[in-house]
Amino acid sequence: MGVGDVSKRILLGRKLRSAQLGETLLPKRIALPVFASDALSSVAYAPDEVFIMLAVAGVTQYVWSWKIAIAVALVMAAVIASYRQTVHAYPSGGGDYEVAKVNLGRNAGITVGSALLVDYVLTVAVSISSGSQYAAAAIPALQHHEVTVATVAVVLLMAVNLRGIRESGRVFAVPTYLFMFAIFVMCGFGFVELAFGTLPQVESADLDITPEPGWDEPLTTFGLMILLARAFSSGCAALTGVEAISNGVPAFRRPKSRNAATTLLLLGLIAITMIVSVIVLAKQMGIRYVDPHHLDRLTRDGEPVGPGYDQHTVIAQIARAVFHDFSPGFYFTVTVTGIILVLAANTAFNGFPVLGSILAKDGLAPRALGARGDRLAYSNGIVFLAVMAIALIWIFDAQTTRLIQLYIVGVFVSFNLSQLGMIRHWTRALQTERDPAQRRRMVRARVINAIGLGFTAVVLVVVLLTKFTQGAWITVLAMALFFTVMRAIRAHYESVEAELAADEEDKVLPTRVHAIVLVSKLHKPTLRALAFAKATRPNALEGVYVSVDDAETDRLLAEWDQRNTGVPLRVLHSPYREVVKPIVEYAAAIRRANPRGVVAVYIPEYVVGRWWEQLLHNQTALRLKGRLLFSPGVMVISVPFQLRSSEIARERGEREESRVRPGDLRRGRVAERSGRKPQP
Amino acid sequence: MGVGDVSKRILLGRKLRSAQLGETLLPKRIALPVFASDALSSVAYAPDEVFIMLAVAGVTQYVWSWKIAIAVALVMAAVIASYRQTVHAYPSGGGDYEVAKVNLGRNAGITVGSALLVDYVLTVAVSISSGSQYAAAAIPALQHHEVTVATVAVVLLMAVNLRGIRESGRVFAVPTYLFMFAIFVMCGFGFVELAFGTLPQVESADLDITPEPGWDEPLTTFGLMILLARAFSSGCAALTGVEAISNGVPAFRRPKSRNAATTLLLLGLIAITMIVSVIVLAKQMGIRYVDPHHLDRLTRDGEPVGPGYDQHTVIAQIARAVFHDFSPGFYFTVTVTGIILVLAANTAFNGFPVLGSILAKDGLAPRALGARGDRLAYSNGIVFLAVMAIALIWIFDAQTTRLIQLYIVGVFVSFNLSQLGMIRHWTRALQTERDPAQRRRMVRARVINAIGLGFTAVVLVVVLLTKFTQGAWITVLAMALFFTVMRAIRAHYESVEAELAADEEDKVLPTRVHAIVLVSKLHKPTLRALAFAKATRPNALEGVYVSVDDAETDRLLAEWDQRNTGVPLRVLHSPYREVVKPIVEYAAAIRRANPRGVVAVYIPEYVVGRWWEQLLHNQTALRLKGRLLFSPGVMVISVPFQLRSSEIARERGEREESRVRPGDLRRGRVAERSGRKPQP
């Protein structure tokens, strides 16, 4: 069998696998939970934030709650409609980043990239903080230990992702559908009871809320506007995560774009229904909810409830009241909510490598991130995410309310640039499109994106105005930092590329090859290196031995003669026991003597399998290779000799290569663990 | 100029330097302080330990102090006389290790090696702990912060040695001579005053010592024997470090052995004079000195002095009394004592790499330790020393008294094995020697070593009996650990050597060389790699490109054709964006198709200079090289392309190579910084 056949089989093998890929892609019913867990999980904290903000001016302002819910729902509808256009126009999965880069230029792309990086960190911090509050609602012993719970959760997520867990559609599907089920059942029950007039009150209904200083009634019109703007912008936390589907189009089954758009529509309907239902129900059930740092503003009969009061999340309070005589219902709701929040955080761990590889492809991140399987790069990214998230959790005391202030800016920066990019996209497309039906569709799409831009621009302005001093400045600063780093990386790659651009001179062949084989002993690895070196038929070939001990040198010389290798052995004396320097200098001297030639340094290398064996071998070879790289006109040839123990490491390496990496699923890369295993 | 000339010049250059080595060797007046600082510094703590041990049974037992001093002096004289024989018989500087290995076999050698390793750690811990007590005597603010002072000192020593300080003879000479001067002046003054009957009392003279429970007078004979044995074995701490000269013979000027023997004699005379003088004077001046952990046993008029009492070291107390109306004398004495203790600790940092390289040469330590310039190995050793010493300082609360219990075992294990080895050495030599004068000399030397063995064996038994439960068991355990590790390393190297032993089959040449050049882009590095690969005239040559993106692949193929490189380009499709795996599989397939051939994989490599640039390049190349090493019949050729920034790293590398390493001086390797610089 010739090399050609073998390589063709490899190629065909690959092609087959590539063709099979379709079978492993996600159907809508699996794609929805995989990509929607982040967006849906925000139902767990967005209503709370609305009530907290309104509570600033006392409980009477809760009358605005359902209007704010409607406003948030409107924005979400506009954004979903916009992204349905994106999904059709950019099916490659670059999402906001690609839209901004292609239509608005590189800097807009980098800005979106920075915003997304910040978002991933905040997704982890916010979701896990909120999740730890749900855990505390279900398990009273965890109360007041939310920071510890959240930290442990992030560390566990990190460990699981470092280990390389299969991001399975099933793992997402079951809890996400259970979460939808729980929320819909809870709200359904609630509305039925509301219709029958038997709706119970939540546990905090008998409390009153002291307005914050300066927010006593009656509010001025301006004051009211500020209050509503703040409540609205906090409520927009519900929109975080809706962009995920636009990044994941390649993972959908064909027709990818249409399926993604349908899934997006479904996601929008579900999310809007949930958020409006929860807010309306909570208001009807007399919720009283304040910033957990200002629990003393909650009063019962004019007296503060004191530090002993445990304020439970809005969904927990509703669930407790609705399922008042069926406590499994309460525990079920709270548990699945906690699980979906953890899944949402895991989303960030899976999305981060995908974003990294997209940025790497454009030279904005280390190129190694672009290739699959660079475990080190993956690991560093995952640890980075976890450390940043834990830092935020500690700084902000695992208080979702305070983290939310940082969260929404990044999300809406990418929303805005993405919508703006889409408008530009359609405008460009209209310049060349002649088919009237297509043109109509494009014009309609442009209108939808313009409406989306209108809404998201207003939200961004409101968010910046109301939240900048509350913490959004941190996000802006972090984005500026990421922006600068990415620009610097890009500039570096460009300057290297310019330095490396090929010109005609580079085709000149070296006139001669002078090969030297490093000899430390006359054993199998050395003999193999000599044989390999001879096989390349260099113009000159010699063994080189660094002598640090006369007796040993004599022994080697005798053995060399006796072996009759046919290769001369040059001995470099090194009275100071240096090994690297004499060789580097010798190679440089050969090169100087023949500047148009090339020096080929053959290094026999032991290949061992255990980490401690590594410490015992090859250290000098490693150091030598590192130094020789700096000598012009020298190439370094490793001639490996596999010791028996190397088998261990080879197998480990193969396991490593075939291991599932975070983000594989959302690139459509991994077969679901199912009966239909892809054929090898 | 041909290659031959160039290489000859390099060789001659080397030889010249080698010949000049004599000029840089140490004269006796410099060698004495370099090698004696460790031994002399023990005068700073050995007397204290004698008094502490005697104080266990109350102050009346101090009458034994000068007799114990004499006993210690006798042992020291015997050991010094023994080592003078070693220095003559083994001028290569292997010291105790070599003597034991050559005469008693490998296991004895390994035992001595383990003992020395443990000793280095303890030298640092003991010297620095004692030094911090002197610092506290001079600067009252440091009192009760000895652990912190000692830790900071070890960290500083570590940093200085990691940085690579020139271990200069001058740095040792000045403080060591000042220390001798200070001690001799102090004792001289003291004895003059003693003669005139005006000897003042030390600050603790008016105190009384309560015996420890069970040690109240009258002591039984057996009790007294135990007391004296413990005091004597503690006093033997004065002997630590006398073996240093026998490890440093190669650093002496010619005639090396005679000069070393003379220096050893001088060292012995000085050390014995000092230790006896200090103990006798302290006794005469009414010293009261107890374990710093039992300060409550010091009483004044029947009342314990309480925790407010600061117990100063013996030398500090003598100096304060002798120089009572001349405080600079006190401060000078205490300061130079502190400095010499730090120098003694530094000795360990310098001796450690020397021992490492000797052990490495015998395959008992990672081979990389054997070559000069392996910065990583040096650094790891230095950090290891420092961390272990700090751990001991913390565990034992920087109390010299408690660390001494661990110290002496290791020293006397190597003393014993070394003397035993010497006896064996002379016995063997006598079997062949016929010259009567030589024979007489050998018999005399054997008697001296036998006396030495007698003394050191008694001390070892006494030390083991009196100190095993006090902490010596830790030393024994640590030695056993090092012993096991060294045996395991040796066993590993031997099994590898057996596996690698050359046989006739290994000379068979590969039938063909199939070269593949990895192509990522068509730029200078790739073109250079192609040119180099062509120059080696392989049987088959092709470029290999891993395609992860069709558009990019088409662009490259077009460029490839246009360039007309004359080399076919093979495209490996990788739908999953893997880069490493397709290449490894392709190389393996080529090899399988032609099992007697060789696959040469050329990897163009960027060489950059800054660490963050490293992160941006070559990650995939690195990973690929790591994986290809495990494929039999594949050699990996790095074709470096030096970017402009690589200049930075090249210069750093050269600075690194020429940097002074710890231990260089004691291998006779570094020229003193003097007017006569060695010619290049």
> How high does pLDDT run on average in chain A?
84
C-beta separation of B635 from A639 below 8 A? yes
CATH superfamily to which B512-643 belongs: HUPs (3.40.50.620)
Which has the higher per-residue pLDDT, A179 or A205?
A: A179
Which has the higher per-residue pLDDT, B518 or B94?
A: B518
pLDDT at B547 over 50: yes
pLDDT at A663 over 80: no
C-beta separation of A418 from A86 below 8 A? yes
**Could you count the other beta carbons within 10 Å of the beta carbon of residue B507?**
16
DSSP 8-state class, residue A144: T
CB-nearest to B637 from A489, A615, A635 is A635
pLDDT at A1 over 50: no
pLDDT of residue A14: 36
Q: Quote the minimal CA–CA distance from A252 to chain B in Å.
A: 16
pLDDT band at B421 (very low <50, low <70, confident <90, very high): very high
Distance CA B69, CA B63 (A): 11
pLDDT band at B221 (very low <50, low <70, confident <90, very high): confident
User: In chain B, what are the domain boundaries?
Assistant: 35-494, 512-643
Distance CA A410, CA B131 (A): 58
Q: Is B655 on the interface with A (CB under 8 A)?
A: no
- How far is the first Cα of chain A from the last one, in angstroms, to the nearest whole number? 21
pLDDT band at A656 (very low <50, low <70, confident <90, very high): low
pLDDT at B482 over 70: yes
CB-nearest to B589 from A6, A577, A585 is A6
Which has the higher per-residue pLDDT, B137 or B154?
A: B154
The class that CATH gives domain A35-494 is: mainly alpha
Tell me the backbone φ, ψ of residue B393, rounded to 5 degrees.
Answer: -60, -40
Mean pLDDT of B181-200: 92
C-beta separation of B550 from A18 below 8 A? no
C-beta separation of B399 from B129 below 8 A? yes
In this predicted model, what pLDDT tens digit does every residue of B273-289 receive, in sequence order?
Answer: 999 999 999 999 999 99
pLDDT band at B666 (very low <50, low <70, confident <90, very high): low
Mean pLDDT of A401-422: 89
Q: Which range, of A37-46, A297-306, B34-43, B503-512, averages the lowest pLDDT? A: B503-512
DSSP H or E run through B267 = helix B256-284
pLDDT of residue A626: 82
Residues of A whose CB is below 8 A from B580: 371, 373, 657
pLDDT at B28 over 60: yes
Distance CA B461, CA B455 (A): 10
pLDDT at A584 over 50: yes
pLDDT of residue B357: 81
Q: Is A613 on the interface with B (CB under 8 A)?
A: yes
Most confidently modeled range among A658-667, B392-401, B504-513: B392-401
Tokens standing for residue B495: 């099994």
Alpha helices in B501-603 (DSSP H): 524-535, 550-563, 580-593
Query: Edge-to-edge strands of the sheet including B208-209?
Result: B208-209, B298-300, B303-304
C-beta separation of B242 from B46 below 8 A? no
In this predicted model, what pLDDT tens digit does every residue of A426-468 receive, in sequence order?
Answer: 999 999 988 899 899 999 999 999 999 998 999 899 888 888 8
Calculate helix-pair angle for B619-628, A646-658, nearest 10 degrees: 130
DSSP 8-state class, residue B546: E
Residues of B whose CB is below 8 A from A608: 496
pLDDT at A396 over 60: yes
Tokens standing for residue B477: 């355990």
Q: Is A500 on the interface with B (CB under 8 A)?
A: yes
Can you say whether residue A302 is alpha, beta or left, with left for phi > 0 and alpha for psi between -120 and 50 degrees?
A: left
pLDDT band at A269 (very low <50, low <70, confident <90, very high): very high
In order, the DSSP letters of B61-76 are GGGGHHHHHHHHHHHH
Distance CA A371, CA B345 (A): 50
Mean pLDDT of A308-320: 88
Which has the higher per-residue pLDDT, A578 or B576?
A: A578
Distance CA B85, CA B443 (A): 11
Q: Please report the residues numbered 565 through 584 in chain B whose beta carbons come closer than 8 angstroms to any beta carbon of chain A.
A: 565, 570, 572-582
Mean pLDDT of B301-319: 84
pLDDT of residue A91: 84
Q: Is B551 on the interface with A (CB under 8 A)?
A: no
pLDDT band at B630 (very low <50, low <70, confident <90, very high): confident
pLDDT of residue B677: 38
In this predicted model, what pLDDT tens digit does every residue of A162-176 receive, in sequence order?
Answer: 776 555 667 778 889
DSSP 8-state class, residue B63: G
- Which of A181, A149, A132 is CA-nearest to residue A319? A181
In this predicted model, what pLDDT tens digit does every residue of B438-481 receive, in sequence order?
Answer: 899 999 999 999 999 998 999 899 888 888 888 889 999 999 99
pLDDT at A135 over 60: yes
Residue A286 C-alpha from the chain's centroid: 40
> How high does pLDDT run on average in chain B?
84
Q: Which of A10, A369, A500 is the mutation pick for testing B, counting most B CBs within 10 A?
A: A500
pLDDT of residue A352: 82
CA dihedral B233, B239, B244, B249 (to 10 degrees): -120
Which has the higher per-residue pLDDT, B646 or A207?
A: A207
pLDDT of residue A148: 92
Cis bond before residue B33 (omega within 30° of 0) = no
**Could you count the other beta carbons within 10 Å of the beta carbon of residue A566?**
9
In this predicted model, what pLDDT tens digit does every residue of A488-510 receive, in sequence order?
Answer: 999 988 888 888 887 766 566 78
pLDDT of residue A671: 43
Which has the higher per-residue pLDDT, A184 or A142?
A: A184
Q: Which of B10, B12, B513, B536 is the mutation pick for testing A, counting most A CBs within 10 A?
A: B536
DSSP 8-state class, residue A199: P
* Residue A309 amino acid letter: Y
DSSP H or E run through B587 = helix B580-593
Q: Quote the minimal CA–CA distance from B373 to chain A in Å.
A: 6
Query: What ipTM was reported for this prediction?
Result: 0.73
3-state secondary structure of B598: strand
Which has the higher per-residue pLDDT, B266 or B165?
A: B266
pLDDT of residue A17: 41
pLDDT of residue B377: 63
pLDDT band at A336 (very low <50, low <70, confident <90, very high): very high
Closest CA in chain B for residue A618: B368
pLDDT band at B667 (very low <50, low <70, confident <90, very high): low
pLDDT of residue B192: 93
The residue whose two tokens read 């239902």 is A277
